[in-house]
Structure 1
Amino acid sequence: MIKIVISTHGKLAQELVSSAEVVAGKQSNLYVIKKSDNDSLAQMQNKINNLLKNINDEDGTLILTDIIGGSPCNASTPACKSFNTEILSGVNLPMVLSAIFLSKNTKTVSDLAEKVLFDGQKSIINVKKMLLNKIK
């Protein structure tokens, strides 16, 4: 099964996992890496590499990060050279849920990344406009 790593600043990753598990139940393929105030880029890279060494298998790993250009994202990119990984930035709860549900039946990590990206983008909606358009 494809593994999912959520890497963010502070407690966001753990809170996303906690919220996702309220909906989807406890997950065995979901991992968290947080950047604390004192972590350097090299320390973040070590955290990511060590985790990937411990969990990696031929199915690959999808890494979800909070913001492009942030330390969690930047620290993840070198892992693409050594591991079967895909990285998506801008993680939100719909992306985490999509990754959880689709990871069980998606064959490749690149296919999973495409589907999760689509679901994440699709979930960002101006609700007021949507409701007003339905009323017309």
Structure 2
Amino acid sequence: MIGIIVSGHGNFASGLLSTVKLIAGEQDMVIGIDFVDGQGSVELKNNIKDAMNKLGDEILVLTDLAGGSPFMNSVLLKQELTDKKIEVISGTNIPMLLEVVLKRDDNDMKELMQLAKMAGTNGINIFELKEKQEEDYNSDDGI
């Protein structure tokens, strides 16, 4: 089973995982790592590395923001831990996380990454209020 790490600024990770738990129940091999005020980048990197060591050899890291500390440290660890297959994705949202958690048993890493991207993108919608159209009513067309 592919291990999943969710990491982001503030309580991003714990917030997303609490939502996943509410919708899909408790998930095995999923670890959330928050990057909270007062933490340094070294502590964050160590926390991500510890999680990677707990999850095995195939790990998908889902982060909040490309270029942010959770993303950058995950990328650095991908380069350092060459004995593991680690992939890193930014822009994580609930549809993306649910998709990877629920479909990781049936897909390899490459397929799972594509599903993640698709679900994340498709999960973004803009609500537009549409005008109610008047129905043509002709009183001459009665029964």
Same fold? TM cut 0.5:
yes
Query: Larger Rg: 1 or 2?
Result: 2
Q: Tell me, yes or no, if structure 1 residue 26 matches structure 2 residue 30.
A: no
CA distance in 2, matches of 1:111, 1:2: 12
Higher RCO structure, 1 or 2 (CA under 8 Å, sep 6+): 1
CA distance in 1, matches of 2:12, 2:48: 16
Gaps of 5+ in 1: none
Deviating above 3 A after TM superposition, structure 1's stretches of 4 or more consecutive aligned residues are none
Equivalent in the alignment of 2:101:
100
Give, as a single letter, the amino acid of the residue that structure 1 aligns with 2:70: P
Aligned length: 129
Give, as a single letter, the amino acid of the residue that structure 1 aligns with 2:77: A
Q: Tell me, yes or no, if structure 1 residue 112 matches structure 2 residue 112.
A: yes
CA distance in 1, matches of 2:113, 2:38: 30
Any conservation in 2 of the 1:10–1:35 contact (CA below 8 Å)?
A: yes
CA distance in 2, matches of 1:36, 1:16: 15
CA distance in 2, matches of 1:114, 1:43: 30
TM-score by length of 1: 0.87
Q: State, as a whole percentage, how many aligned pairs show the same letter.
A: 29
Deviation at 1:33, TM superposition (A): 0.7
SS of 1:95's equivalent? helix
RMSD between superposed Cα atoms in Å: 1.7
CA distance in 2, matches of 1:49, 1:110: 22
Give, as a single letter, the amino acid of the residue that structure 1 aligns with 2:16: L
| Counterpart mapping for 1:40-59 below 5 A | 40-57=40-57
Equivalent in the alignment of 2:68:
70
Deviation at 1:91, TM superposition (A): 0.9
Deviation at 1:104, TM superposition (A): 1.6
CA deviations 1:27-86 (Å, max 9, x no partner) are 0121111112122222211111121112223xx111010111111111110121213111
Any conservation in 2 of the 1:86–1:110 contact (CA below 8 Å)?
A: no
CA distance in 2, matches of 1:54, 1:118: 28
Structure number with higher helix proportion: 1
Equivalent in the alignment of 1:88:
89
SS of 2:96's equivalent? helix
